[in-house]
Chains A and B, each alone.
Chain A
Amino acid sequence: MQFGILGTAGIGVESVIPAIQASDHAAAAIASRDEERASAVADEVGIPTAYGSYEALLADDSLDAVYIPLPNSLHADWVRAAADHGLHVLCEKPLTASADETAAVFDYCEDAGVTLMEGFMYRFHPRTERAAELVASELGEVVSVTSNFSFRLPDGAENIRIEPELAGGSVMDVGCYAISAARLFLGTPDRVYATTTDTRDCGVDTRMSGVLEYDSGASASVESSFDTPETQYYRVQTTDGWLEAKTAFNIEPTASAELTYATDGRVVTETFDPIDNYRSEVEAFARAVETGETPRIDREESVDLMRTIDAIYESADSGRTVELD
């Protein structure tokens, strides 16, 4: 498949473009609003065609799909624009800035007959697949999940991650992983309570701490922040044991991944060979496009995740527990 890349964001240049190039597919074109920048990046990473606008790239008939790593608030418009050109869309997380908008872009893509998938690369790591399998089949009933993705965002840096008009904030940037993991093991919560803090007076949350409650009695505690050294983990407590992963979401493609779990009088640490989970993500997306099958991260998952994020913000604003329908 021929991929076009919308924008020159770091995650594209450093992770997803090399992943596409390592796969059986091709990164055929890249666009930036600044044509010189598009050409410079295209040369640097070995992409044959550069465009000075996103519209120009979308009009390129040789492309099959686009990868969108733009600022969060721009995702929805460019997903729709790509769909208008019949292009399949792999879009970075979070897919949009609200559950309604997420549902709307899925409607739009379904009408246009193109595949849309939200890019949560950790869902394609074999360690995550194994964790989900173990929790589903080996460890009894889930009692609680704790998950956290935090890192220190340098002070004073101009950054799209803390721009309110670009839908920045720690929840949108990294907290969504912690929430995604809670959903992976427990499903969509019935009630949410959360607090957020803006420690930099930047107009978005730089810290979030939330509790997801389930009618079953289970709960998840989710956290994110821009104010701590890097922490990323999930831990699942079950009636028969527990399961834990560190460096759980964003792991170097050269690093082994470990998953530890306890059940039945044994503690097992499984070690997974290094793998590029961006490449696995790209290949899974391309396979879904080619076969017409629903991608692993489907509409329901993306919409429910965003409903949970909406509820976290609503609870943080109102100071009250928010019920999800």
Chain B
Amino acid sequence: MSSAPTDIVEEFTRRDWQGDDVTGTVRVAMIGLGWWTRDEAIPAVEESEFCETTVVVSSSKEKAEGATALAESITHGLTYDEFHEGVAADAYDAVYVVTPNGLHLPYVETAAELGKAVLCEKPLEASVERAERLVAACDRADVPLMVAYRMQTEPAVRRARELVEAGVIGDPVFVHGHMSQRLLDEVVPDPDQWRLNPELSGGATVMDIGLYPLNTARFVLGADPVRVRARARVDDEAFEAVGDEHVSFGVDFDDGTLAVCTASQSAYQSSHLRVTGTEGELEIEPAFYNRQRRGFRLSWGDQSADYDFEQVNQMTEEFDYFASRLLTETDLEPDGDHALVDMRAMDAIYAAAERGTDVAVDADHDPALDGA
């Protein structure tokens, strides 16, 4: 009988990334005041050890000043113009950019010019080209950039990565990943929302939620995508402009692992990631929603183990990770270069869905040639 690898799952929710020497507080300006910022980010920062929200930035002065009541620590409510002008720049150390995807670039550029560290929501931008400019702006100004994938500081995902690294499931062979929700019925009931505008989002399903199984698989495997194939279907006319409501895509990773992922913005809320290796299997289900308890199952030999662990607020973990790295001046992950790989992979997925053929994930892939 083989024993469970208990040394790895010991203290399941431990912050393996946090050193003992972290002191101080990172003051954060929240750029964009949608439901995610109000209901998730600001409360999560209030729970955090190393962050506080001091500034909120929105389209109107009224909206921004009204939002200063969301946390006691908030001292300034700014308009986007005031932010670009550098108003109250000494009141925050870092920005969290939560605008529509296609508007990340100008705020990150301003933050970089102001010398502020950047935590940018995923996906990095609405296109590969704009994402590259975003990363370049941070590189030029030498400011830290982290992309808010949320799952890379989720304990279930970190434990999965450690178990895979330790060889507990043998060599990874397959990944099955899935994420779905009912965007219009349950999340944001507005057919005119930015996620359905291709200019602002770059895509509705792959970019918003298909990214979770893609990026989490990359993190757990420690591998990058090299080739993809995909199908996309639209049932609801609200998704016609973006073209992706229900999506399936296959990804070949550079370590030989084959992944099949599915995502939908109009299907029952569900999420999982399963990694099947030569000797065992890991399943995280539910996996990707902060609002659902994450489940974790390891199967090996003649047995399986289901872990019911203390759940963390994924946003609090993410903010504390971001802040603790800034406070100790340590490199941040996932960084801009890591996120550009996803942008290129998603670009290839959209191209593959349109062409009906395999598409290589190439750093030099030119979207202008997609129709060729």
B294 to chain A, nearest CB (A): 12
B65 to chain A, nearest CB (A): 41
| A126-B1, A129-B1, A133-B3 known; A266-B303 Cβ under 8 A | no
A275-B1 in contact (CB<8A): no
B6-A266 in contact (CB<8A): no
Of the candidates B1, B303, B306, B307, the one having the most CB atoms from chain A within 10 angstroms of its own CB is B303
Contact flags B306-328 to A (C-beta < 8 A → 1, else 0): 11111000000000000000000
| A126-B1, A138-B6 known; A266-B309 Cβ under 8 A | yes
A156 to chain B, nearest CB (A): 42
- Asked if A270 is at the interface (CB within 8 A of a chain B CB), the reply is yes
B1-A130 in contact (CB<8A): yes
Q: Identify B304's interface contact among A133, A264, A270, A275, CB under 8 A.
A: A270
Contacts of A270 in B (CB 8 A): 4, 303-306
| A138-B6, A264-B10, A265-B13 known; A272-B305 Cβ under 8 A | no
Contacts of A268 in B (CB 8 A): 4, 9, 305-308
Expressed in whole angstroms, the Cα–Cα distance for A163 and B10 within the complex equals 51
Contacts of B307 in A (CB 8 A): 266-268
Contact flags B1-35 to A (C-beta < 8 A → 1, else 0): 10110100111110000000000000000000000
Expressed in whole angstroms, the Cα–Cα distance for A126 and B307 within the complex equals 19
Q: Identify B310's interface contact among A129, A266, A273, CB under 8 A.
A: A266
For B10, the closest partner residue in chain A by CB is A264
- Asked if B192 is at the interface (CB within 8 A of a chain A CB), the reply is no
- Asked if A239 is at the interface (CB within 8 A of a chain B CB), the reply is no
Contact flags B287-308 to A (C-beta < 8 A → 1, else 0): 0000000000000001111111
A266-B9 in contact (CB<8A): yes
Contacts of A271 in B (CB 8 A): 303-306
| A126-B1, A270-B4 known; A265-B11 Cβ under 8 A | yes
Expressed in whole angstroms, the Cα–Cα distance for A36 and B12 within the complex equals 62
Contacts of B306 in A (CB 8 A): 268-271
- The tally of residues in B whose CB lies under 8 Å from a CB in A reads 18
| A138-B6, A266-B308, A268-B308 known; A273-B303 Cβ under 8 A | yes
Expressed in whole angstroms, the Cα–Cα distance for A129 and B4 within the complex equals 12
- The tally of residues in A whose CB lies under 8 Å from a CB in B reads 16
Expressed in whole angstroms, the Cα–Cα distance for A9 and B305 within the complex equals 37
| A266-B9, A266-B310 known; A273-B302 Cβ under 8 A | yes
Contacts of B4 in A (CB 8 A): 130, 268, 270
Expressed in whole angstroms, the Cα–Cα distance for A273 and B299 within the complex equals 11
For A269, the closest partner residue in chain B by CB is B306
Within A248-291, which residues are at the interface with B (CB < 8 Å)? Answer: 264-273, 275
B7 to chain A, nearest CB (A): 10
A267-B308 in contact (CB<8A): yes
| A266-B307, A267-B308, A268-B308 known; A126-B302 Cβ under 8 A | yes
Contacts of A273 in B (CB 8 A): 302-303
Expressed in whole angstroms, the Cα–Cα distance for A266 and B9 within the complex equals 9
B309-A265 in contact (CB<8A): yes
B302-A275 in contact (CB<8A): yes
Contact flags A120-148 to B (C-beta < 8 A → 1, else 0): 00000010011001000010000000000
Contacts of B303 in A (CB 8 A): 126, 130, 270-273
B302-A272 in contact (CB<8A): yes
Contacts of B305 in A (CB 8 A): 268-271
A265-B310 in contact (CB<8A): yes
Within B254-309, which residues are at the interface with A (CB < 8 Å)? Answer: 302-309
B252 to chain A, nearest CB (A): 33
For B310, the closest partner residue in chain A by CB is A265
Contacts of B11 in A (CB 8 A): 264-265
Expressed in whole angstroms, the Cα–Cα distance for A185 and B119 within the complex equals 51
Those 7 A-B pairs whose CB atoms lie nearest each other, nearest first: A267-B308, A266-B309, A273-B302, A265-B310, A270-B305, A269-B306, A266-B12
- List 19 A–B pairs whose Cβ atoms lie within 8 Å, in order of A's numbering: A126-B1, A129-B1, A130-B3, A264-B11, A264-B12, A265-B11, A265-B12, A265-B13, A266-B12, A266-B308, A267-B308, A267-B309, A268-B9, A268-B306, A268-B308, A270-B4, A270-B304, A270-B306, A273-B303
B residues at A contact (CB < 8 Å): 1, 3-4, 6, 9-13, 302-310
- Taking A266-B308, A266-B310, A275-B302 as given, write out 14 further A-B residue pairs in contact, using a Cβ cutoff of 8 Å, ordered by the A residue number: A129-B1, A130-B3, A133-B3, A264-B12, A265-B11, A266-B9, A267-B309, A268-B4, A268-B306, A268-B308, A269-B306, A270-B4, A271-B305, A273-B303
